[in-house]
A and B are shown apart, each in its own frame.
Chain A
Amino acid sequence: MAQTSHCKTIADNDPRYEELRSFIHSHENKDGIAMTALQEAQSLFGYLPLEVHKFISKETGVSIAELYGVTTFYSQFNTEPQGQHQIQICMGTACYVKGAQKVLDKVVETLGVEVGMTTPDQLFTLNAARCLGCCGLAPVMMIDDDVYANLDNVSEIPAILDRYRKDTK
């Protein structure tokens, strides 16, 4: 969360808050609810801005500081809005040994954003994944749920990305 003045991106009366509330209260055992609630919130809102932390804190009794500590500890949580398409470059050992760095470099070059960032048009968010678990197909890139395997020839990458640009239009 940036230190600059915080502007709300999710309206107070957003119906997703109600969903989150009922999720939290459907758990009879409140022990350890913080992380589960954050995971549910992220799947509802796509990211976790300050106001969502405030809401979860009010509903669970866990302090905002503690919640934010959990959010920032785990790599799965985002505090910034995400792009329309999620790009994950597998940087597991098997992929790395087979040239994942070149794949990553090519995507960075093509999109003009670094790992963890979203393109200015909000179309792509680029992430380096730890291991996508399909080591037999290395090196691997995943865009949303589509897997692109054996990317030995990185010059194919710009054309792959273009397909998603067209789909969106």
Chain B
Amino acid sequence: MTMQPHGTTAEMNRIATVEELNLLRDKWKAKLETPSGIRVVVGMATCGISAGANQVYEAFRNEIKKRGLDHVVVEKVGCIGMCVYEPIVEIFEDGKEKVSYIHIDPEKAGSIVEQHLVGGKPCDELTLLQLDVKDQSGYVCGKFEDLPFNRKQKRIVLHNCGYINPEDIREYIGVDGYQALAKVITSMTPEETVELISASHLRGRGGAGFPTGLKWKFAARETSDQKYVICNADEGDPGAFMDRSVLEGDPHAVLEAMAIAGYAIGADQGWIYVRAEYPTAVKRLELAIREAKAIGLLGKKILGTDFNFDIKIRLGAGAFVCGEETALIASIEGKRGMPRNKPPFPASKGLWGKPTIINNVETLANIPAIIRNGPEWFRSIGTEGSPGTKVFALGGKITNTGLVEVPMGTTLREVIEDIGGGCPNGKKFKAVQTGGPSGGCLTFDALDVPIDFDQLVALGSMMGSGGMIVMDEDNCMVDIARFFLDFTVDESCGQCVPCREGTKRMLEILDKITSGGAEEKDLDDLYELADNIRQTSLCALGQTAPNPVLSTMEHFIDEYRAHVIDKKCPSKVCKDLLGYYITEACKGCTKCSRTCPVEAIRGKVKEQHYIDQSVCIRCGSCIDVCPFDAIERR
């Protein structure tokens, strides 16, 4: 993408005291809250850019420049979480309601400039109003905040995403950015900082939910000439993208939290380990670090204190196992990313053998807000055992795909039905998968359970990083289990036998089941293998690899049996178990017989055709070309 050269670093002076930070905050707070002109923001996280936001951004800039509209600024912001409506453009003007445009392209951008920015009249047909979503009182929703999608959400982590420009540190400062760091380093001791985080009961958002305060305490009490803070931004769960969204929409929150962590444990060096597959996130992080250094909020003697903190970025190179702490450390050290036995834990022996804490992006993004508002505030949100919110990446067979941040303890039903809008096309909900390749699926029975770390484990799944993939009646659960196992086989580092060999054998059995070659005994073998792998693998990747299989076997054993005994796939997904048949709707147009790659379709012109099942390779080409819907799978 074309990055606007940002003049900010050049024109910004170093901030040497808290007073100077406050002055800058007041100035930018005013600019954001009561803009003197018009502020046009374009959602430009990866999802927006994929939908064409770059062209929309350029169109606005060109059009505004052409018309000489000096009172209008156009800015890039992060993702507001509603992927279905991208590209999204919002317009802020003092004294007027915010206007939210959806599905914008360069041409529509032109009309908006003409009619709204010049003419002063919003283009209602391009805003949210076009969806005609009414609330109970019959009011048509014009703002994202009013939509059912947003009503049950609570934004702590994603608070600034979609509001501030992530490429301008001054806007972050304008929303109280770096105030938490200032408070900690000028008025609290490191011990008090650790205590405060412990008192908030914040738990790690990366998967297992380990108490963050405890992790910090372990590292803080080590004595060493060097300690490190690592931010784990190697979001590997296929189907989760909340960390990417935070890095793209609010990178300074992560930097600020890392510096706070550094102060708390006595570290002066931070590392961010981020996936190379997230180029936009990497660019914005690099810029954010440069800006923070230029202004003196990172580097030596921050805000006139004796606290020094620097941050470097290391790019991952595509290995799921590197989300595991010790593997991640090995990867930063430039080695193959293979996990090792714990203890010693990274808090005592981590990066280059020095005490290290590793926190994930979402965990860190909670820290500044906790320090600013206090641990009691944080504990008042969510459940007793899991305070705060959780961001979920809602995807799959769901109407409103996107990022959702809800208080812990929200039920799955609220997330899927009220926020997500249920399965599209009137299909029946079947299951929801949480925790990615390490998690499991939850069915109809679990819909009313309040979700938090402990409840999900009790239900046989886990929080994981927060991927939430909804499946409907058309998804085959054996195929889904096979999909996840295929992933873990690919991603196993190969170091320990149970994971390297065991997951492969499990995949072979699943292949047999989905292709119709399995016997009943295979189900017992599958279960036994899964149990062994879970108990004997070296790291969490192997220990949790069987989860998708075990949980689908628990909830959908009938589907497994249908594949094994009846050689049928009830959801009509597993190709080898399906036959293709031509119905009476056939008009004899011969399109299918001409398309069939193996000449399995016979019949005369204008007469019903038939498929020779012994020749058919079940490729499905005929279904795609039939103009009369006369071919069915069964």
Residues of A within 8 A of B (CB): 31-36, 38-39, 62, 66, 69-70, 73-77, 91-94, 96-98, 129-138, 140, 147, 149, 154-155
Pair B483/A93 contact, Cβ less than 8 Å: yes
Q: Report chain A residues within 8 Å CB of B395.
A: 93-94, 97, 135-136, 138
Pair A130/B320 contact, Cβ less than 8 Å: yes
**B280's closest neighbor in chain A, by CB?**
A133
Report the minimum CB–CB distance from B405 to chain A (whole Å): 16
0/1 string, B344-388, CB within 8 A of A gives 1: 000000001000000000000000000000000000000000000
* Interchain CB contact (< 8 A) of A94 among B51, B314, B320, B396: B396
Residues 301-337 (chain B) with a chain A CB within 8 angstroms: 314-320, 331-337
B178 within 8 A of partner (CB): no
**A105's closest neighbor in chain B, by CB?**
B619
Pair B86/A136 contact, Cβ less than 8 Å: yes
Pair B333/A97 contact, Cβ less than 8 Å: no
Report the minimum CB–CB distance from B375 to chain A (whole Å): 33
CA distance A162 to B440 in the complex (A): 41
B445 within 8 A of partner (CB): no
Pair B238/A73 contact, Cβ less than 8 Å: no
Pair B332/A32 contact, Cβ less than 8 Å: yes
0/1 string, B496-507, CB within 8 A of A gives 1: 000000000000
**B475's closest neighbor in chain A, by CB?**
A97
B393 within 8 A of partner (CB): yes
Pair B277/A70 contact, Cβ less than 8 Å: no
* Interchain CB contact (< 8 A) of B277 among A32, A129, A138, A154: A129
Pair A32/B334 contact, Cβ less than 8 Å: yes
Known contacts A32-B334, A76-B318, A131-B238; 16 additional CB pairs below 8 A are A31-B352, A35-B331, A73-B319, A74-B319, A94-B238, A94-B395, A96-B483, A98-B396, A130-B238, A132-B46, A135-B83, A135-B401, A136-B401, A136-B402, A137-B50, A154-B624
B181 within 8 A of partner (CB): no
Report the minimum CB–CB distance from A130 to chain B (whole Å): 5
Report the minimum CB–CB distance from A99 to chain B (whole Å): 10
Pair B50/A131 contact, Cβ less than 8 Å: no
Pair A93/B320 contact, Cβ less than 8 Å: no
Pair B433/A134 contact, Cβ less than 8 Å: no
B631 within 8 A of partner (CB): no
Given A70-B334, A93-B433, A155-B624: A76 and B83 within 8 A (CB)?
no
**B82's closest neighbor in chain A, by CB?**
A136
Given A93-B238, A97-B469: A133 and B278 within 8 A (CB)?
yes
**B241's closest neighbor in chain A, by CB?**
A133
Q: Report chain B residues within 8 Å CB of A91.
A: 238
0/1 string, B452-485, CB within 8 A of A gives 1: 0000000000000001011100010000100110
Pair A97/B471 contact, Cβ less than 8 Å: yes
Q: Report chain A residues within 8 Å CB of B278.
A: 133
CA distance A38 to B277 in the complex (A): 16
CA distance A70 to B402 in the complex (A): 35
Q: Report chain A residues within 8 Å CB of B338.
A: 73
Pair B336/A70 contact, Cβ less than 8 Å: yes
Q: Report chain A residues within 8 Å CB of B86.
A: 136-137
Q: Report chain A residues within 8 Å CB of B276.
A: 39, 76
Q: Report chain B residues within 8 Å CB of A69.
A: 336
Pair B241/A135 contact, Cβ less than 8 Å: yes
Best-buried of A74, A147, A149 by chain B (most CB within 10 Å): A74
**B394's closest neighbor in chain A, by CB?**
A135
A-B contacts, 17 listed (Cβ < 8 Å): A31-B333, A32-B333, A32-B335, A35-B314, A35-B331, A39-B315, A74-B318, A93-B237, A94-B396, A97-B480, A131-B239, A131-B240, A133-B241, A134-B241, A136-B86, A138-B396, A154-B624
Pair A97/B314 contact, Cβ less than 8 Å: no
B236 within 8 A of partner (CB): yes
Q: Report chain B residues within 8 Å CB of A62.
A: 334
0/1 string, B223-264, CB within 8 A of A gives 1: 000000000000011111100100000000000000000000
Pair A131/B332 contact, Cβ less than 8 Å: no
Best-buried of A33, A39, A92, A131 by chain B (most CB within 10 Å): A131
Pair B483/A35 contact, Cβ less than 8 Å: no
Best-buried of B83, B433, B480 by chain A (most CB within 10 Å): B83
CA distance A77 to B337 in the complex (A): 14
Q: Report chain B residues within 8 Å CB of A136.
A: 47, 83-84, 86, 395, 401-402
Report the minimum CB–CB distance from A125 to chain B (whole Å): 15
Q: Report chain A residues within 8 Å CB of B333.
A: 31-32
0/1 string, B531-542, CB within 8 A of A gives 1: 000000000000
Pair B317/A74 contact, Cβ less than 8 Å: yes
CA distance A13 to B471 in the complex (A): 55
Q: Report chain A residues within 8 Å CB of B337.
A: 73-74
Given A32-B334, A76-B276: A97 and B83 within 8 A (CB)?
no
**A146's closest neighbor in chain B, by CB?**
B50
**B236's closest neighbor in chain A, by CB?**
A130
Best-buried of B276, B317, B433, B436 by chain A (most CB within 10 Å): B317
Q: Report chain A residues within 8 Å CB of B332.
A: 32
CA distance A47 to B331 in the complex (A): 20
Q: Report chain B residues within 8 Å CB of A32.
A: 314, 332-335
CA distance A113 to B131 in the complex (A): 43
B397 within 8 A of partner (CB): yes
Q: Report chain B residues within 8 Å CB of A73.
A: 319, 336-338, 493
Pair B317/A33 contact, Cβ less than 8 Å: no
Q: Report chain A residues within 8 Å CB of B320.
A: 130
Pair A92/B336 contact, Cβ less than 8 Å: no
Q: Report chain A residues within 8 Å CB of B436.
A: 93
CA distance A39 to B279 in the complex (A): 14
CA distance A46 to B413 in the complex (A): 48
**B281's closest neighbor in chain A, by CB?**
A133
Given A133-B47, A136-B83: A36 and B334 within 8 A (CB)?
yes
Pair A140/B335 contact, Cβ less than 8 Å: no
Report the minimum CB–CB distance from A101 to chain B (whole Å): 9
CA distance A76 to B51 in the complex (A): 25
Q: Report chain B residues within 8 Å CB of A70.
A: 334-336
**B278's closest neighbor in chain A, by CB?**
A133
0/1 string, B34-62, CB within 8 A of A gives 1: 00000000000011001100000000000
Q: Report chain A residues within 8 Å CB of B318.
A: 74-76, 130
Q: Report chain B residues within 8 Å CB of A34.
A: 334-335
